[in-house]
Chains A and B, each alone.
Chain A
Amino acid sequence: MAEYPAGIGHRRRHSGVSHWRWQRYSAVLVLALITYFTVLLASLGGLDHDGATALVGHPANALALAVLVTVGLWHGTLGLQVVIEDYITIKGGRQMALMAMRAAMAIIGLATLWAVSRIAL
């Protein structure tokens, strides 16, 4: 076991590995769900209001869409975190950018989940 300076140690090492892992687990799930929805939408072409409501309102699709958006945004959050950490080098600015990015992702996610549940329920 390597020696780490005080305050780095286990916590830091654990969070790096779990970030790497979850980036990949989420990738596999998003890949499966996005393939399903892309093929579905491409096969339908244009959708009017009733058609779109029926599609999103179908319980299996609504659930799949909610999972896709939640896991997809999480995957995006992990990815943007790496970009911000790599290129924003000023300490305070980095923390601020990370917080703003996570807040934006949360707002997009909540708006989407609200819309999907309103259509499906």
Chain B
Amino acid sequence: MARTRPLSPHLQVYRPQLTSMMSIAHRASGIVLTTGTVLLAAWLVALAHSAESYEMVSGLLAHPLGQFVLFGYSAALIYHALNGIRHLAWDLGYGLTIPEVYRNGHIVLFLTMVLTAGLWAAVWM
């Protein structure tokens, strides 16, 4: 019995709260970012290989579906970076009371939307 019990909260019996959802999102975005490094590797290997390979990978990334993937990747990156700063602040002892945790959580979510929108506005302009 002990063997099948996870160390972390049972996700399926845990009532959702901002704090737990943001914690799970931090992990999920981290998994996406680490896995997505394959895309960066593919882009660089194609660039090193030949102009034709590079054009092919660039074409895939420029396709609406490729842009959608890049958009998701950038949102995951910005969320993970901002929430990571929140975690580092906690590690230094700042922002740990319950009202502060909720407030800096909302700030992270708000800035994630603003910066992701700003990034894509900059890319498209």
B30 touching A76 by the CB < 8 A rule?
A: yes
Contact with A along B47-62 (1 / 0, CB 8 A): 1100100110010001
Q: What interface size band does chain B fall in?
A: 35 or more
Q: What interface size band does chain A fall in?
A: 35 or more
* Residues of A close to B74: CB separation below 8 A: 38
A28 touching B88 by the CB < 8 A rule?
A: yes
Given A38-B77, A52-B54, A73-B37; A86-B8 close (CB under 8 Å): yes
* Residues of A close to B5: CB separation below 8 A: 89
A76 touching B45 by the CB < 8 A rule?
A: no
* Residues of A close to B124: CB separation below 8 A: 45
Bound together, the chains give a CA A52 to CA B48 distance in angstroms of 10
Max chain B C-beta neighbours (<10 A), residue from A28, A35, A72, A112: A112
B47 touching A108 by the CB < 8 A rule?
A: no
A49 touching B54 by the CB < 8 A rule?
A: yes
Bound together, the chains give a CA A43 to CA B119 distance in angstroms of 9
Q: For the complex, is B31 an interface residue (Cβ under 8 Å from A)? A: yes
Bound together, the chains give a CA A45 to CA B70 distance in angstroms of 13
B62 touching A108 by the CB < 8 A rule?
A: no
Interface members, chain A 63-121 (any B CB < 8 Å): 69, 72-73, 76-77, 79-80, 83, 85-87, 89-91, 105, 108, 111-112, 114-116, 118-119
Bound together, the chains give a CA A42 to CA B124 distance in angstroms of 9
Q: For the complex, is B106 an interface residue (Cβ under 8 Å from A)? A: no
A116 touching B44 by the CB < 8 A rule?
A: yes
Residue of A nearest to B45 (CB): A115
Q: For the complex, is A46 an interface residue (Cβ under 8 Å from B)? A: yes
Given A56-B47, A76-B34, A119-B47; A38-B40 close (CB under 8 Å): no
A interface residues with partner B (beta carbon < 8 Å): 24, 27-28, 31, 34-35, 38, 42-43, 45-49, 52-53, 56, 69, 72-73, 76-77, 79-80, 83, 85-87, 89-91, 105, 108, 111-112, 114-116, 118-119
B interface residues with partner A (beta carbon < 8 Å): 3-8, 27, 30-31, 33-34, 37-38, 40-41, 44-45, 47-48, 51, 54-55, 58, 62, 74, 77, 81, 84-85, 87-88, 91, 119, 122-124
Subset of 28 A-B contacts with CB under 8 Å? A27-B84, A31-B81, A38-B74, A38-B119, A48-B58, A49-B55, A53-B47, A56-B44, A72-B37, A73-B37, A76-B34, A79-B34, A86-B6, A87-B6, A89-B3, A89-B4, A89-B5, A91-B3, A108-B38, A111-B45, A112-B37, A112-B40, A112-B44, A112-B45, A114-B45, A115-B44, A116-B48, A119-B44
